[in-house]
Amino acid sequence: AGGVPLSRILVWSWLLYFTALPGCTDRQIYGAIQSNQRNECFRLPESQISQCLERTGVSYDQYELERTESLGK
């Protein structure tokens, strides 16, 4: 209860992704989104910050591996 809903974080993340400069690499965009998500974590009640930060701790390489596997490639 309270804090920034995950759906709001995702909306802002996708907005950032789709409005990023065309010259940015996927890794740079992922880093910017991840940074934004971490910043949003600190707006949550103190008891929820740690758990929120854990969800944002996935490296780009791990994210890409999991994404590729989920697409069956």
- Res. 62 pLDDT band, cuts 50 70 90: very high
Report how far residue 14's alpha carbon sits from residue 4's, in angstroms, rounded to the nearest whole number. 16
> The whole model's pTM is what?
0.60
- pLDDT, residue 20, reads 57
Q: Note whether 5 and 44 are within 8 A (CB).
A: no
pLDDT in tens, 25-39: 888 888 988 999 999
Report, as an integer, the average pLDDT of 51-65: 91
Average pLDDT, the chain: 82
Report how far residue 73's alpha carbon sits from residue 55's, in angstroms, rounded to the nearest whole number. 24
